[in-house]
């Protein structure tokens, strides 16, 4: 696959810490460039009739994305926060899983792999709007996957804090696709409906912890499309 600049509005890039269920969409995407580069070595011999020949010994891949973020919004896109957490880190802490795919031509191949993350800032020329560039440098295999695009999506939970909240306390849940959370039963701790909650936006919910025993109380958020994966949480 040669390098190609993709029209960002027709593509989606997502990141994950575990590469399984909690894929977070990077918001504000305005440019996407992916590249697979073969390492070629000469393999000419007498049977090539005087023509040079080459063989591929390795493949290297990368994907670079530019995205905008409002400087004064007061909230951060959960995917951008996950990316920012790798900055200045080493080892596993500097790596994320990444996947990207078309939201228009869903028959196109989608790609997924684990990568070292590099984040840099740039200027947009627009007041209160920051542009950031994130480069994912492949660390191992890049896999062609089935296109995971779905027009409507179930919630994704990125965090629930603070930990150890007891009955009556507030927990802030961040993630995606929280708009349209099912009334009365859309936020649960350990299978019990939250006493109450407020959806502050598509990526933030503030919920009140219901009565229950201290210990594990996984968080699940449900909208009209379906339920999120259970997010680990320990209540007080």
What is the 8-class DSSP label of residue 22?
A: -
The answer to whether residue 150 is domain-embedded is no
pLDDT confidence bin for 203, thresholds 50/70/90: confident
Residue 2: predicted pLDDT: 39
Check whether residue 125 and residue 224 sit in a common domain: no
The answer to whether residue 48 is domain-embedded is no
* E strand or H helix that includes residue 79: helix 78-84
Average pLDDT over residues 8-24: 86
209: preceding bond cis by omega (within 30 degrees) = no
The answer to whether residue 225 is domain-embedded is yes
Q: How far is the C-alpha of 16 from the C-alpha of 174, rounded, in Å? A: 14
φ, ψ at 8 (rounded to 5°): -60, -30
pLDDT in tens, 60-112: 999 999 988 776 656 678 899 999 999 999 999 999 999 999 988 878 889 99
pLDDT in tens, 147-185: 988 777 889 999 999 999 999 999 999 988 888 898 888
Query: What number of residues does the chain have?
Result: 236
Q: Among 125, 145, 165, where does a domain finish?
A: 145
Q: How far is the C-alpha of 26 from the C-alpha of 117, rounded, in Å? A: 14
Q: Among 120, 145, 170, where does a domain finish?
A: 145
User: Which domain covers residue 32, as residue numbers?
Assistant: 4-42+54-145
The answer to whether residue 72 is domain-embedded is yes
pLDDT of 1 above 50: no
This prediction has a pTM of: 0.66
Check whether residue 96 and residue 193 sit in a common domain: no
pLDDT in tens, 121-137: 876 566 667 889 999 99
The answer to whether residue 49 is domain-embedded is no
């Amino acid at each position: 696959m040669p390098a190609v600049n993709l029209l960002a509005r027709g593509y989606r890039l997502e990141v994950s810490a575990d590469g399984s269920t909690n894929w977070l969409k990077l918001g504000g995407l305005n440019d996407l460039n992916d590249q697979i580069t073969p390492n070629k070595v000469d393999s000419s011999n007498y049977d090539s009739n005087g023509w040079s020949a080459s063989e591929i010994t390795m493949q290297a891949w990368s994907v670079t994305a530019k995205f905008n973020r409002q400087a004064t919004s007061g909230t951060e896109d959960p995917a951008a926060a996950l990316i920012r957490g790798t900055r200045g880190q080493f080892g596993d802490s500097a790596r994320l899983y990444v996947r990207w795919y078309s939201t228009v031509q869903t028959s196109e191949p989608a790609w997924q792999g684990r990568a070292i993350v590099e984040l840099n800032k740039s200027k947009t020329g627009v007041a209160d709007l920051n542009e950031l560039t994130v480069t994912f440098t492949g660390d191992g295999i890049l896999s062609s996957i089935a296109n995971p695009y779905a027009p409507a999506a179930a919630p994704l939970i990125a965090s629930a804090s603070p930990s150890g909240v007891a009955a009556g306390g507030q927990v802030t849940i961040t993630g995606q696709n929280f708009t349209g959370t099912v009334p009365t039963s859309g936020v649960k701790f350990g299978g019990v409906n939250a006493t109450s909650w407020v959806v502050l936006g598509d990526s933030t919910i503030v919920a009140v912890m219901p009565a229950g025993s201290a210990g594990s109380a996984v968080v699940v958020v449900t909208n009209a499309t379906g339920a999120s994966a259970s997010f680990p949480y320990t209540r007080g």
